[in-house]
Amino acid sequence: MKQSRIRTTAVALLYTLVAPLLAADNPLTPWAGSSGPQPPAPWHVSGLPHQRKPFTQFRIEDWHGQHALRIEADRSYGNLVHLLPAGQAGHHLAWSWTLDEPNTLADLHTRSGEDEALRVCVLFDLPHDHLPLLERALLAMAHTDGGDPVPGATVCYVWDSHLPPGTALSSPYTRRIRMLVLRGPEAPLHQWASESRDIVADFRQLFGEEADVVPPLIGVAVGADADNTQSHSLAHLGGLTLSP
């Protein structure tokens, strides 16, 4: 237990030291820029078209030594989205996260169980004319109903309670969203874990058969949902940085 506290403190201290250096070239507004509990603009909550179910809750708070984003899903759905300028490039995404209450009922292989206690997603502007006709029609309808642009390709990094790290799979709802599990059932709860991903390499791994060139970014989103399993989860997300 003592060693666990030491590791947690060390991760928090390291982030405190490097965050100012990363922020200089980071197009993502940091949580530290918030003067209150609400995530700072241009971060905004986004849901499903005409969503009537509860929205996942996002709040800034101090958690285990970090100024963190609290993400709580309670029979809800929602993402916190940060749109990026047209043509935005990025190669590496880094963040820290901790899972506090997992959703043990989730099953990412099925529609009835496709809930995520914690996800970090990168939205790519894959041209829709690369897609099958039916998928193009569905994306056009979603774009008409929603306020945010609908990406042709989304890579989501997931913390899951059942699948082992390295598992790659498509959402059972749409192949426009493909997931990569980074933390699985072996990962301890209530402890900060740090991630650094080559998003270009991950796009090529998950969508390479559809595009020879990695498209520019539309935005970054973080979220959780528990609407399919009608359950609950709680997690925290620390610093999130996008760099060349």
The C-alpha atoms of residue 126 and residue 217 are separated, in whole angstroms, by 9
Is the Cβ–Cβ distance between 96 and 86 less than 8 Å?
A: no
Residue whose structure tokens are 């101090």: 62
> Which residues is 62 bridged to in the sheet?
67
pTM equals: 0.87
The C-alpha atoms of residue 48 and residue 30 are separated, in whole angstroms, by 25
Provide block-wise average pLDDT over 10 residues at a time, the chain (244 residues). 44 40 71 83 92 96 89 97 91 97 97 98 88 76 66 96 97 95 97 97 95 93 98 96 95
The C-alpha atoms of residue 136 and residue 152 are separated, in whole angstroms, by 9
Q: Where are the domains of the chain?
A: 2-243
Residues 6+ apart with CB under 8 A from 140: 128
Tell me which amino acid residue 181 is: V
Record the tokens describing residue 186, joined without a space: 């072996």
Record the tokens describing residue 172, joined without a space: 């059972």
The C-alpha atoms of residue 200 and residue 193 are separated, in whole angstroms, by 22
Is the Cβ–Cβ distance between 209 and 200 less than 8 Å?
A: no
The C-alpha atoms of residue 96 and residue 241 are separated, in whole angstroms, by 10
Q: Tell me, which fold does domain 2-243 have in CATH?
A: Jelly Rolls (2.60.120)
Predicted pLDDT of residue 146: 55
At residue 113, the 3 state secondary structure works out as coil
